Each structure stands twice: as C-alpha cells, then as structure tokens.
C-alpha cells in the first residue's frame, strides 16, 4: 500500500507540513545521502547502518509520495532501481543546513 502524500493531508501550519515530510527516524539521513548523488537501494541500505529493509522501503516510498525523492527503474539483465532527490528534495535538504549548524553550536558536545 502506498502512503498518502503529505500534500493530500490537511495542515493548519505550514511548518507542520515540512515536519510531516521529515518525520521518521531515517528520512533525514536518507536525504543527506541522496544529496551527494543518486543511490541504488543496496547502497542506501549500506550507508544507513541499522535500518531494516522494510523500513527503508517504506521511508523511500513516503519521500517519493511527498515529491522529494524520485525513483527510476533501469532495465537490463538485472533490474535495478536508483533514487535521487527532486528539486524540492534538494531545496528541503538545503533548508536543513541552518538547523544542522544550530545543532552543532548548541546541542552536540565538542
């Protein structure tokens, strides 16, 4: 079953819509990995240690439904799938950079 896009759900606060897209233990890490370059499913599984395959599939589907991740299937002797950020995904990830800086300055011990 595909997840309902955040855009299809009612939101009373625009920030809440962005937080809904990012909700999930692994989504921000997945976006960070995809910012560098498109990745195959197996690469993402290796780059995000501790994530279960089922959860990875669910989180990628949700990000795709929300329009921040694109999924492209390649035909060949073995079918493979590649995930990349959409323009909206790049913009969302870039919007997280100030939050990362704040965390480094105020939360993460030095």
Kindly report the CATH number assigned to the domain that includes residue 53: 1.10.10.10
Q: In the prediction, which pLDDT does 96 show?
A: 93
Average pLDDT over residues 2-29: 76
Residue 109 has pLDDT above 80, yes or no: no
Q: In the prediction, which pLDDT does 69 show?
A: 98
Residue 8 lies in a domain: no
Average pLDDT over residues 62-70: 96
Residue 47 lies in a domain: yes
Instruction: Give, as one character, the DSSP assignment of residue 44.
Output: H
Average pLDDT over residues 42-63: 96
Residue 1 lies in a domain: no
Q: Is the dihedral of CA 79, 62, 8, 1 positive or negative?
A: positive
Domain count, the chain: 1
Residue 14 lies in a domain: no
Residue 61 lies in a domain: yes
Average pLDDT over residues 29-46: 96
Residue 20 lies in a domain: no
Average pLDDT over residues 12-35: 89
Average pLDDT over residues 62-72: 96
What count of other Cβ atoms lies within 10 Å of the Cβ of residue 109? 3
Domain extent for 102: 26-106
pTM to 2 decimal places: 0.83
Give the span between the Cα atoms of 16 and 14, in whole angstroms: 5
Assigned token pair, 97: 């950079």
Residue 82 lies in a domain: yes
Residue 100 lies in a domain: yes
């Amino acid at each position: 079953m595909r997840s309902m896009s955040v855009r299809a759900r009612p939101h009373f606060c625009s920030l809440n819509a962005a937080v809904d897209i990012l909700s999930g233990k692994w989504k921000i890490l997945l976006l960070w990995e995809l910012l560098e370059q498109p990745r195959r499913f197996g690469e993402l599984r290796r780059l995000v240690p501790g994530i279960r395959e089922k959860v990875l599939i669910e989180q990628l589907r949700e990000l795709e439904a929300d329009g921040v991740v694109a999924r492209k299937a390649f035909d060949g002797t073995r079918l493979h799938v590649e995930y990349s950020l959409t323009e909206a995904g790049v913009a969302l990830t870039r919007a997280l950079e100030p939050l990362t800086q704040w965390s480094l300055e105020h939360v993460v011990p030095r």
